[in-house]
Structure 1
Amino acid sequence: MKNYRTYIGIDVAKLTLDYCIVKEDPQLEQGQILNTQKSVDKFLKTLKKTGCQMNETLFVFENTGIYSSLLALVLSENSLDYAQVPALEIKRSLGITRGKSDKVDAKEIAHYAKRNTDKIALSTLPELSLQQLKIVFAEREKTVAAIKTFERTKENEMFLTKEVFNSVKAINNQTVKHLKKQLVMLDEKIRTLIREDENLYGQQQLLKSIPGIGDITSVYILMATKGFTAFTSGRKFACYSGVAPFEHSSGTSIKGKTRVSHLADKKMKTLLHMASLTAIKYNPELKDYYNRKKAEGKHTMLVLNNIKCKMVYRIFAVIQRKSNFVNLHKFAA
C-alpha cells in the first residue's frame, strides 16, 4: 500500500460535504462545501494552493450511492486516490461512541483512513457502460415494482360492486399497459448497452451458458462484479452474496451451527436462489445432488445454499476459462 502524508475524511450528504484533513501536524482542518462539481473542483484547487501533495493524499468517504457518485467522478477525473467504504465498516471500527454530527463523522472517517491504510482498497470508477447499465436496471426495478402495485387494484373487483370498480378499472388498465410498454423499452435498452460493449456481451454469453442463469441474473452479476473486476475469486463473491458458510464456535461451550452471514447483497442472494431452483429442474447433476442430500435428511435450505455456492464457482470458472459451461454429467458412465 502506498504511503500517504494526508488523509481527508468526507461525510457525504445530499447537499453538502463535510471534510476533515488529517496530516502529520496534530492540528485538524475541518470545513464544509456544497455537493456540486464546481465546489469540489474549487476545494481541490485550494488544497493544491496550500501545498498539499495530491499524489500523497488519500480521500475516504462512505458509499452513499447516488449522493457520493459526483465526488467519486471528480476525484477519478483528477487521478486522485480515493476509497468508498461501506458505512457499517466505519461504524464498527469506532467502538463505543456517543452523539452524532456531520462534522464528527468526517473526523472519524479521516482517522479511520489513517489507522487502516494497509487494509483500505482503493476504489475506481466503473466503465461508462456499467454506469449506464446500473441506472437503467434501477429504473427497470422501479417499473416492475410499480406494475405489481397497480395490478393489485384488480383484487378489489371481487369485493366491490361493478359500478364502483368500473370508476377506476379503465384508468388502471391504461396505467398497467403503459408501464409494461416502458418495461419492454427498458429491457431493450439493457440489451443494447450490453451488445455495444464487447467485453460485457462476451461475459453475459458465458454466464447464460450455465443452467439456471438467464438475462436478468446475468446482468445483475455483471453490475455487482463490475465486469468481474471487483472480485478475484468465487469465495469472495459468495461472501458478498451471503451464501458462503461461516463457523460459529468459541472454546468448548459454544458450538453453533455453521451458517451464512446476514450481511449480503440481498438482491444478488435472491437471484441466486431463483437460479438454483431453476438449475435443479434443468441440470441433471444438480438435480441428483439435491435429491441425494434430501434423502440423507439434509434441510432444504441448506441444500439450496450449497447449490448457490456451486453456481457461484461455476460463474467464476466460465469467466476465468473464457469458455462456456460444459455439463460433464452427461458424459459420466
Structure 2
Amino acid sequence: MKNYRTYLGIDVAKLTLDYCLVTDDQQLEREQILNTQKSINSFLKNLKKAGHELDQILFVFENTGIYSSLLSLVLSENELDYSQVPALEIKRSLGITRGKSDKVDAKEIAYYAKRNTDKITLSVLPELNLQQLKIIFSEREKTIAAIKVFERTMENEMFLSKEVFGTVKAINRQTVKYLKKQLAMLDDKIKKLIREDEVLYKQQQLLKSIPGIGEITSVYLLMVTKGFTAFTNGRKFACYSGVAPFEHSSGTSIKGKTRVSHLADKKMKSLLHMVSLTAIKYDPELKEYYARKKAEGKHTMLVLNNIKCKIVYRIFAVIQRESNFINLHKFAA
C-alpha cells in the first residue's frame, strides 16, 4: 500500500453521500453531495481544482450493496484508489461511541482509513459479466421466495369451502405458473452469461467435477469469489464461509471449545452444508470419513463442518491446478 497524502471517508446513503476529507496535517473538510453519477464526477473535479492530487487520495466507504455501487463505478472509471470496508469492521474499530450521525460517521471512516492504511485492501470493480450475474442471481432468489409464498396459498384449500377458495384458486395457479416460467428464464440467462465467458465457464466445469457441487452452488461460488480473484487460498474462503474452526482460550483457566464464527456469508455456509450432505451419500471417501468419525463418537455437526472444510480445499485445489477433481480413494488398495 502506497503512502497517501489525503484520506476521504464517505458515509453512503440512498440519496446522499456525506464525506470527510482528512490530510496529513489533520485538516478537516466535511460536506454532503448527492448520490448520483453527475454529482460524484463534479465532486472529483472540485477536489482537483482545490489542489488535491486525486491519485494521492484514498477513498474509503462502507459496503452498502447497491447504494455504494455507483460510487465504486465512478471511482473505478477514474482509476482512483478506493476500498469498500464492512460496516462491522469500522464500527468495532471505533470502540465505545455515543450517538450517531452521517457527518460523524464520515469523519470516523476517514480516520479509520488513516490509522489502518497498511491493513486496508484496495477494492476492484468486478467484471461486467460478474455484475450482471450477481443481479440476475438476486432476482432468482426473490422469484424463488415469491413462488414459495404463493404456493402456500394452496395449503388453505383443505380448510376452506370450494366456494370460498375457488375465488383465488385459478389466479394463484396462474401466478405460480408465471413465476416458474420467469425462474426458468433467469436460469437460462445465468447459463448463457457463464457460457459466454471462457474463464468462468471453465471454472464452473471444474467446480462441478467435485461430488456434491451442482449448478447453483457453482454459480454462487463464482460470484462471491469474483471468479476466484477475491480469495487467495482455501483457508481465507473457509473463514468467509463460516466453516473454519477457531480456538477459544485464555490463560490456564479458560479453555473453550474450538468453534466456527457466526460472522460469515450465511448463504454460502448453507450451500456448503447441502453439498456436504450430498457428498457423504455419493462420495466414497467422505462417506467413509463420516462413518468413521461418527463411530468415534464425534458430534454430527462437527463431522459435517470438517467435511465442508475438505470441500472448500477441494474447490481451491481444482481451480489452482486447472484440472478436474479426481477421487483417489477408488485407487486405494
Distance 1:309 1:27 in 2: 48
Q: For 1:7-18, what aligned pairs fall within 5 Å after superposition?
A: 7-18=7-18
- Equivalent residue of 2:230, what SS? coil
**1:188 aligned onto 2:188:** yes
- Equivalent residue of 1:243, what SS? coil
Distance 1:7 1:311 in 2: 40
Match of 2:101 in 1: 101
Distance 2:292 2:299 in 1: 12
Match of 2:329 in 1: 329
- Equivalent residue of 1:58, what SS? strand
Q: Deviations over 1:23-46 (max 9, x none)?
A: 023331000000000000000000
- Equivalent residue of 2:59, what SS? strand
Distance 1:128 1:187 in 2: 18
- Equivalent residue of 1:135, what SS? helix
Match of 2:214 in 1: 214
The alpha-carbon deviation at position 161 of structure 1 amounts to 1.0
Q: Deviations over 1:242-278 (max 9, x none)?
A: 0000000001111100000000000000000000001
The alpha-carbon deviation at position 119 of structure 1 amounts to 0.1
Code of the residue aligned with 1:91 in structure 2: it is K
- Equivalent residue of 2:264, what SS? coil
Q: For 1:142-291, what aligned pairs fall within 5 Å after superposition?
A: 142-291=142-291
Match of 1:35 in 2: 35
- Equivalent residue of 1:80, what SS? coil
Match of 2:2 in 1: 2
Code of the residue aligned with 2:51 in structure 1: it is G
TM score, norm. by length of structure 2: 1.00
Gapped regions of structure 1 (runs ≥ 5): none
Distance 2:25 2:265 in 1: 40
Code of the residue aligned with 2:238 in structure 1: it is A
Code of the residue aligned with 1:168 in structure 2: it is V
TM score, norm. by length of structure 1: 1.00
Code of the residue aligned with 1:12 in structure 2: it is V
Gapped regions of structure 2 (runs ≥ 5): none
Distance 1:34 1:209 in 2: 47
Match of 2:81 in 1: 81
- Equivalent residue of 2:114, what SS? helix
Code of the residue aligned with 1:205 in structure 2: it is Q
- Equivalent residue of 2:4, what SS? coil
CA RMSD of aligned residues (A): 0.5
The alpha-carbon deviation at position 316 of structure 1 amounts to 0.0
The alpha-carbon deviation at position 228 of structure 1 amounts to 0.3
Q: Deviations over 1:276-307 (max 9, x none)?
A: 00111110000000000011110000000000
- Equivalent residue of 2:113, what SS? helix
Distance 1:319 1:7 in 2: 37
Code of the residue aligned with 1:43 in structure 2: it is F
The alpha-carbon deviation at position 16 of structure 1 amounts to 0.1
Distance 1:260 1:168 in 2: 46
- Equivalent residue of 1:99, what SS? coil
Residues matched between the structures, number: 333
Code of the residue aligned with 1:135 in structure 2: it is I
Code of the residue aligned with 1:70 in structure 2: it is L
4+ residue segments displaced more than 3 Å: none
The alpha-carbon deviation at position 110 of structure 1 amounts to 0.1
Match of 2:310 in 1: 310
Distance 2:24 2:109 in 1: 16
Distance 2:203 2:308 in 1: 19
Identity of aligned pairs, percent? Answer: 84
Code of the residue aligned with 1:184 in structure 2: it is A
Q: Deviations over 1:159-217 (max 9, x none)?
A: 11111111110000000000000000000000000000000000000000000000000
- Equivalent residue of 1:41, what SS? helix
